[in-house]
Structure 1
Amino acid sequence: MSIIIDNLNEESDVIEAQNAALKNKNGIRSLRLQFRGEVRMDVMEALQPPPNLLGLVFEGYIGIEFPRWITMSFNKLKVFKVSHCSSLPPLGNLQSLEELYIWSIENMKYLGREFLGITGDGRAIAFPKLKSLKFYSCEEWTEWEDIRVEEEEDVVSIMPCLQDLVVSECPNLKALPHRLPQDAIG
Protein backbone atom coordinates (compact mmCIF):
# COMPACT_ATOMS: atom_id res chain seq x y z
CA MET A 1 0.00 0.00 0.00
CA SER A 2 1.22 3.50 -0.87
CA ILE A 3 0.28 6.60 1.11
CA ILE A 4 0.61 10.25 0.08
CA ILE A 5 0.33 12.95 2.72
CA ASP A 6 0.01 16.28 0.97
CA ASN A 7 -0.10 19.91 2.07
CA LEU A 8 2.02 19.55 5.21
CA ASN A 9 2.64 23.06 6.54
CA GLU A 10 3.07 25.18 9.68
CA GLU A 11 -0.55 24.58 10.61
CA SER A 12 -0.16 20.80 10.61
CA ASP A 13 -1.16 19.52 14.03
CA VAL A 14 1.04 17.20 16.10
CA ILE A 15 -2.03 15.50 17.63
CA GLU A 16 -3.37 14.77 14.16
CA ALA A 17 0.03 13.39 13.11
CA GLN A 18 0.21 11.22 16.26
CA ASN A 19 -3.32 9.95 15.68
CA ALA A 20 -2.34 8.87 12.18
CA ALA A 21 0.02 6.40 13.93
CA LEU A 22 1.93 5.71 10.72
CA LYS A 23 4.62 3.78 12.59
CA ASN A 24 2.01 1.15 13.54
CA LYS A 25 0.63 0.70 10.02
CA ASN A 26 2.78 -2.18 8.80
CA GLY A 27 0.85 -2.49 5.54
CA ILE A 28 2.37 0.75 4.24
CA ARG A 29 5.19 -0.01 1.80
CA SER A 30 5.65 3.43 0.27
CA LEU A 31 5.16 6.89 1.78
CA ARG A 32 5.28 10.28 0.07
CA LEU A 33 5.35 13.41 2.24
CA GLN A 34 4.63 16.63 0.32
CA PHE A 35 5.28 19.89 2.11
CA ARG A 36 3.69 23.26 1.37
CA GLY A 37 5.41 25.23 4.11
CA GLU A 38 7.47 24.87 7.24
CA VAL A 39 6.51 22.01 9.57
CA ARG A 40 7.42 21.83 13.26
CA MET A 41 9.85 19.07 14.21
CA ASP A 42 7.40 17.52 16.69
CA VAL A 43 4.96 17.02 13.81
CA MET A 44 7.76 15.54 11.69
CA GLU A 45 8.74 13.09 14.43
CA ALA A 46 5.08 12.09 14.88
CA LEU A 47 4.94 11.17 11.18
CA GLN A 48 7.43 8.35 11.70
CA PRO A 49 6.65 5.57 9.22
CA PRO A 50 6.51 1.84 10.02
CA PRO A 51 9.85 0.02 10.30
CA ASN A 52 9.18 -2.15 7.24
CA LEU A 53 8.67 0.80 4.85
CA LEU A 54 10.38 0.18 1.50
CA GLY A 55 10.22 3.62 -0.12
CA LEU A 56 10.09 7.19 1.15
CA VAL A 57 9.72 10.42 -0.81
CA PHE A 58 10.33 13.82 0.83
CA GLU A 59 9.12 16.67 -1.37
CA GLY A 60 9.32 20.40 -0.68
CA TYR A 61 10.63 20.05 2.88
CA ILE A 62 11.41 23.34 4.61
CA GLY A 63 13.40 22.64 7.74
CA ILE A 64 16.85 23.04 9.23
CA GLU A 65 17.31 19.33 9.83
CA PHE A 66 15.68 16.06 8.90
CA PRO A 67 13.67 14.05 11.44
CA ARG A 68 15.59 11.34 13.32
CA TRP A 69 13.61 8.55 11.71
CA ILE A 70 14.97 9.43 8.24
CA THR A 71 17.84 7.05 9.05
CA MET A 72 15.49 4.07 9.35
CA SER A 73 15.94 1.23 6.90
CA PHE A 74 14.47 1.95 3.46
CA ASN A 75 15.17 0.41 0.06
CA LYS A 76 14.48 3.64 -1.80
CA LEU A 77 14.74 7.26 -0.64
CA LYS A 78 13.95 10.31 -2.76
CA VAL A 79 14.45 13.84 -1.49
CA PHE A 80 13.12 16.69 -3.68
CA LYS A 81 13.29 20.47 -3.30
CA VAL A 82 14.58 20.88 0.23
CA SER A 83 15.06 24.36 1.69
CA HIS A 84 17.07 25.38 4.77
CA CYS A 85 18.84 22.02 5.37
CA SER A 86 22.55 22.47 4.82
CA SER A 87 23.54 18.81 5.14
CA LEU A 88 22.28 15.28 4.75
CA PRO A 89 21.94 12.81 7.64
CA PRO A 90 24.18 9.69 7.93
CA LEU A 91 22.39 7.76 5.21
CA GLY A 92 25.39 5.43 4.77
CA ASN A 93 24.07 3.59 7.83
CA LEU A 94 20.94 2.49 5.95
CA GLN A 95 21.68 -1.20 5.49
CA SER A 96 18.89 -1.87 2.95
CA LEU A 97 19.10 1.33 0.88
CA GLU A 98 19.42 0.50 -2.82
CA GLU A 99 18.35 3.77 -4.47
CA LEU A 100 19.00 7.32 -3.29
CA TYR A 101 17.87 10.34 -5.31
CA ILE A 102 18.60 13.88 -4.17
CA TRP A 103 17.06 16.78 -6.12
CA SER A 104 17.63 20.43 -5.30
CA ILE A 105 18.83 20.79 -1.74
CA GLU A 106 19.13 24.56 -1.92
CA ASN A 107 21.43 25.27 1.04
CA MET A 108 23.74 22.27 0.80
CA LYS A 109 27.23 23.55 0.09
CA TYR A 110 29.15 20.72 1.68
CA LEU A 111 28.59 16.98 1.96
CA GLY A 112 30.68 15.62 4.81
CA ARG A 113 31.93 12.20 5.84
CA GLU A 114 28.97 11.93 8.24
CA PHE A 115 26.82 11.27 5.14
CA LEU A 116 28.66 7.93 4.84
CA GLY A 117 27.87 7.10 8.45
CA ILE A 118 31.55 6.89 9.37
CA THR A 119 31.86 6.86 13.14
CA GLY A 120 35.50 5.87 13.66
CA ASP A 121 34.52 2.61 15.37
CA GLY A 122 35.84 0.30 12.66
CA ARG A 123 32.68 0.35 10.53
CA ALA A 124 33.30 -1.89 7.54
CA ILE A 125 30.85 -0.79 4.82
CA ALA A 126 29.12 2.50 4.03
CA PHE A 127 25.97 2.14 1.90
CA PRO A 128 26.38 -1.66 1.65
CA LYS A 129 23.51 -2.26 -0.83
CA LEU A 130 23.31 1.08 -2.66
CA LYS A 131 23.03 0.51 -6.42
CA SER A 132 21.92 3.91 -7.66
CA LEU A 133 22.91 7.35 -6.35
CA LYS A 134 21.72 10.47 -8.15
CA PHE A 135 22.21 14.13 -7.32
CA TYR A 136 20.40 16.73 -9.42
CA SER A 137 20.28 20.50 -9.28
CA CYS A 138 22.22 21.07 -6.05
CA GLU A 139 23.55 24.34 -7.38
CA GLU A 140 25.26 25.60 -4.20
CA TRP A 141 27.08 22.30 -3.55
CA THR A 142 30.84 22.86 -3.77
CA GLU A 143 32.51 20.04 -1.84
CA TRP A 144 31.99 16.33 -1.22
CA GLU A 145 34.43 15.53 1.54
CA ASP A 146 36.56 12.46 1.02
CA ILE A 147 37.53 10.15 3.87
CA ARG A 148 40.81 10.86 5.62
CA VAL A 149 43.83 8.59 5.24
CA GLU A 150 43.49 7.32 8.83
CA GLU A 151 39.86 6.37 8.14
CA GLU A 152 40.72 4.30 5.07
CA GLU A 153 41.78 1.43 7.33
CA ASP A 154 38.47 1.54 9.24
CA VAL A 155 36.26 1.84 6.18
CA VAL A 156 36.81 -1.27 4.14
CA SER A 157 34.29 -0.39 1.47
CA ILE A 158 32.18 2.54 0.29
CA MET A 159 29.14 1.77 -1.85
CA PRO A 160 30.42 -1.64 -3.04
CA CYS A 161 27.25 -2.39 -5.06
CA LEU A 162 27.04 1.02 -6.74
CA GLN A 163 26.23 0.64 -10.44
CA ASP A 164 24.94 4.10 -11.30
CA LEU A 165 26.22 7.44 -10.02
CA VAL A 166 24.83 10.60 -11.57
CA VAL A 167 25.76 14.13 -10.55
CA SER A 168 23.95 16.58 -12.81
CA GLU A 169 23.33 20.33 -12.65
CA CYS A 170 25.69 20.71 -9.70
CA PRO A 171 27.96 23.26 -11.40
CA ASN A 172 30.03 24.23 -8.35
CA LEU A 173 31.01 20.74 -7.19
CA LYS A 174 34.80 20.59 -7.45
CA ALA A 175 35.49 16.84 -7.28
CA LEU A 176 34.10 13.43 -6.39
CA PRO A 177 35.60 11.40 -3.53
CA HIS A 178 38.36 9.07 -4.77
CA ARG A 179 36.92 6.00 -2.98
CA LEU A 180 33.73 5.88 -5.07
CA PRO A 181 33.54 2.90 -7.46
CA GLN A 182 34.92 4.38 -10.67
CA ASP A 183 32.93 2.09 -12.96
CA ALA A 184 29.66 3.51 -11.57
CA ILE A 185 30.42 7.10 -12.51
CA GLY A 186 28.34 8.02 -15.54
Structure 2
Amino acid sequence: MDQLQGSLTIETLGNKDDASEIEKAQLGNKEHLSHLEVYFHEGDVEQRKGDEEIVKAMQPHQNLESLCIWDCHIGTTDSLYWIKFLHNLRKVDLNVWRFCEVLPLGKLQSLEILSIWWICKLKKVGAEFLGREEETETVLSAGILFPKLKQLSFNA
Protein backbone atom coordinates (compact mmCIF):
# COMPACT_ATOMS: atom_id res chain seq x y z
CA MET A 1 0.00 0.00 0.00
CA ASP A 2 2.96 2.39 0.33
CA GLN A 3 2.97 2.66 -3.48
CA LEU A 4 -0.49 4.26 -3.45
CA GLN A 5 -0.47 7.14 -5.95
CA GLY A 6 -2.65 10.08 -6.89
CA SER A 7 -5.73 10.85 -4.81
CA LEU A 8 -7.19 9.28 -1.70
CA THR A 9 -10.62 10.05 -0.26
CA ILE A 10 -11.54 8.89 3.24
CA GLU A 11 -15.22 9.25 4.16
CA THR A 12 -17.47 9.15 7.24
CA LEU A 13 -14.79 9.45 9.88
CA GLY A 14 -15.79 10.09 13.46
CA ASN A 15 -16.18 6.64 15.02
CA LYS A 16 -14.16 5.78 18.11
CA ASP A 17 -11.85 3.36 16.27
CA ASP A 18 -11.10 5.62 13.30
CA ALA A 19 -7.91 7.15 14.78
CA SER A 20 -6.29 3.73 15.14
CA GLU A 21 -7.37 2.81 11.59
CA ILE A 22 -5.83 6.03 10.25
CA GLU A 23 -2.61 5.22 12.12
CA LYS A 24 -2.56 1.74 10.57
CA ALA A 25 -2.90 3.31 7.10
CA GLN A 26 0.49 5.02 7.66
CA LEU A 27 -0.24 7.97 5.40
CA GLY A 28 3.26 9.26 6.13
CA ASN A 29 4.67 6.39 4.06
CA LYS A 30 2.56 7.21 0.98
CA GLU A 31 5.13 9.41 -0.75
CA HIS A 32 3.34 9.26 -4.12
CA LEU A 33 0.01 10.42 -2.71
CA SER A 34 -0.63 13.91 -4.03
CA HIS A 35 -4.21 14.66 -2.94
CA LEU A 36 -5.92 13.75 0.35
CA GLU A 37 -9.59 14.44 0.92
CA VAL A 38 -11.13 13.61 4.30
CA TYR A 39 -14.83 13.72 5.21
CA PHE A 40 -16.02 13.41 8.79
CA HIS A 41 -19.63 12.58 9.76
CA GLU A 42 -21.96 15.42 8.87
CA GLY A 43 -24.60 17.10 10.94
CA ASP A 44 -23.49 16.64 14.55
CA VAL A 45 -24.27 19.67 16.69
CA GLU A 46 -21.74 18.94 19.42
CA GLN A 47 -17.99 18.68 19.41
CA ARG A 48 -16.59 15.18 18.87
CA LYS A 49 -13.45 14.37 20.86
CA GLY A 50 -12.42 11.60 18.47
CA ASP A 51 -11.99 14.02 15.56
CA GLU A 52 -8.90 15.56 17.15
CA GLU A 53 -7.26 12.14 17.53
CA ILE A 54 -8.09 11.29 13.91
CA VAL A 55 -6.55 14.52 12.59
CA LYS A 56 -3.46 14.00 14.76
CA ALA A 57 -3.07 10.46 13.37
CA MET A 58 -3.26 11.50 9.70
CA GLN A 59 0.26 12.91 9.26
CA PRO A 60 0.51 12.53 5.47
CA HIS A 61 3.83 12.37 3.63
CA GLN A 62 5.56 15.72 3.06
CA ASN A 63 5.07 15.34 -0.73
CA LEU A 64 1.30 15.90 -0.41
CA GLU A 65 0.16 18.71 -2.73
CA SER A 66 -3.53 19.08 -1.88
CA LEU A 67 -5.47 18.64 1.37
CA CYS A 68 -9.21 18.97 1.93
CA ILE A 69 -10.90 18.30 5.27
CA TRP A 70 -14.71 18.51 5.67
CA ASP A 71 -16.94 18.55 8.76
CA CYS A 72 -14.19 18.31 11.34
CA HIS A 73 -15.40 18.97 14.88
CA ILE A 74 -12.30 20.08 16.74
CA GLY A 75 -11.96 23.20 18.87
CA THR A 76 -8.33 23.97 18.09
CA THR A 77 -6.04 23.05 15.26
CA ASP A 78 -3.24 21.83 17.54
CA SER A 79 -3.76 18.34 16.13
CA LEU A 80 -3.05 19.75 12.64
CA TYR A 81 0.56 20.52 13.69
CA TRP A 82 1.93 18.32 10.90
CA ILE A 83 0.67 20.65 8.17
CA LYS A 84 3.76 22.86 8.57
CA PHE A 85 5.93 19.97 7.36
CA LEU A 86 4.06 19.63 4.05
CA HIS A 87 6.50 21.66 1.99
CA ASN A 88 4.88 20.79 -1.37
CA LEU A 89 1.34 21.64 -0.26
CA ARG A 90 -0.21 23.85 -2.95
CA LYS A 91 -3.90 23.70 -2.02
CA VAL A 92 -5.72 23.58 1.33
CA ASP A 93 -9.50 23.45 1.79
CA LEU A 94 -10.90 23.50 5.32
CA ASN A 95 -14.70 23.30 5.18
CA VAL A 96 -17.38 23.19 7.88
CA TRP A 97 -15.19 23.13 10.99
CA ARG A 98 -17.95 23.91 13.46
CA PHE A 99 -15.89 24.40 16.64
CA CYS A 100 -12.52 25.73 15.50
CA GLU A 101 -11.67 29.13 17.01
CA VAL A 102 -8.07 29.75 15.83
CA LEU A 103 -6.35 28.83 12.56
CA PRO A 104 -2.58 28.30 12.73
CA LEU A 105 -1.42 27.15 9.31
CA GLY A 106 2.21 28.16 9.52
CA LYS A 107 4.48 29.18 6.70
CA LEU A 108 3.37 27.11 3.74
CA GLN A 109 5.84 28.30 1.11
CA SER A 110 4.27 26.40 -1.81
CA LEU A 111 0.64 27.24 -1.00
CA GLU A 112 -1.23 28.63 -4.03
CA ILE A 113 -4.89 28.16 -3.04
CA LEU A 114 -6.37 28.47 0.44
CA SER A 115 -10.12 28.05 1.02
CA ILE A 116 -11.65 28.37 4.45
CA TRP A 117 -15.42 27.88 4.44
CA TRP A 118 -17.98 27.77 7.24
CA ILE A 119 -15.66 27.78 10.20
CA CYS A 120 -18.54 28.89 12.37
CA LYS A 121 -16.80 29.79 15.65
CA LEU A 122 -13.62 31.28 14.23
CA LYS A 123 -12.59 34.08 16.59
CA LYS A 124 -9.10 34.83 15.45
CA VAL A 125 -6.92 34.72 12.39
CA GLY A 126 -3.74 36.02 13.93
CA ALA A 127 -0.04 35.40 14.26
CA GLU A 128 -0.55 31.63 14.42
CA PHE A 129 -2.28 31.64 11.04
CA LEU A 130 0.64 33.50 9.54
CA GLY A 131 3.21 31.18 11.05
CA ARG A 132 4.56 33.78 13.45
CA GLU A 133 5.37 32.93 17.03
CA GLU A 134 3.93 36.07 18.60
CA GLU A 135 1.57 38.91 17.74
CA THR A 136 4.42 41.39 18.16
CA GLU A 137 6.64 39.76 15.54
CA THR A 138 6.54 41.97 12.47
CA VAL A 139 5.62 40.78 9.01
CA LEU A 140 9.03 41.95 7.79
CA SER A 141 10.90 39.78 10.27
CA ALA A 142 8.70 36.81 9.37
CA GLY A 143 9.46 37.17 5.64
CA ILE A 144 6.95 36.61 2.86
CA LEU A 145 4.46 34.22 4.41
CA PHE A 146 2.66 32.75 1.40
CA PRO A 147 4.89 33.76 -1.52
CA LYS A 148 3.00 31.71 -4.13
CA LEU A 149 -0.57 32.35 -2.94
CA LYS A 150 -2.86 33.08 -5.89
CA GLN A 151 -6.30 32.51 -4.40
CA LEU A 152 -7.64 33.08 -0.88
CA SER A 153 -11.28 32.36 0.00
CA PHE A 154 -12.98 32.97 3.34
CA ASN A 155 -16.66 32.32 3.86
CA ALA A 156 -18.20 32.33 7.31
The percentage of aligned residue pairs carrying the same residue is 34
Larger Rg computed on CA atoms:
1
Q: 1:4-29: CA deviations, max 9, x gaps?
A: 00011042333311110011011210
Q: Distance in 2 between matches of 1:4 and 1:42?
A: 18
Structure-to-structure mapping, 1:99-178, within 5 angstroms: 99-119=113-133, 120=137, 122-136=141-155, 138=156
User: CA offset at residue 114 of structure 1?
Assistant: 2.4
TM-score of the aligned structures, taking structure 1 as reference length: 0.67
Is 2:14 the counterpart of 1:9?
yes
Aligned residues: 136
Partner of 2:94: 79
Contact in 2 for aligned 1:12/1:43 (Cα 8 Å)? no
Which moves more between the two structures, 122-131 or 9-18? 9-18
CA RMSD of aligned residues (A): 1.7
- Residue 3 of structure 1 aligns to a residue whose secondary structure is strand
- Residue 113 of structure 1 aligns to a residue whose secondary structure is coil
Structure 1 runs not aligned, ≥5 long: 139-186
User: CA offset at residue 89 of structure 1?
Assistant: 0.9
TM-score of the aligned structures, taking structure 2 as reference length: 0.79
Contact in 1 for aligned 2:83/2:105 (Cα 8 Å)? no
User: CA offset at residue 40 of structure 1?
Assistant: 4.2
Contact in 2 for aligned 1:118/1:126 (Cα 8 Å)? no
Higher RCO (Cα < 8 Å, 6 or more apart): 2
User: CA offset at residue 113 of structure 1?
Assistant: 2.8
- Residue 118 of structure 2 aligns to a residue whose secondary structure is strand
Runs of 4+ deviating beyond 4 Å: none
Q: Distance in 1 between matches of 2:64 and 2:142?
A: 25
Letter in 1 for 2:82: W
Contact in 2 for aligned 1:100/1:133 (Cα 8 Å)? yes
Structure 2 runs not aligned, ≥5 long: 1-5
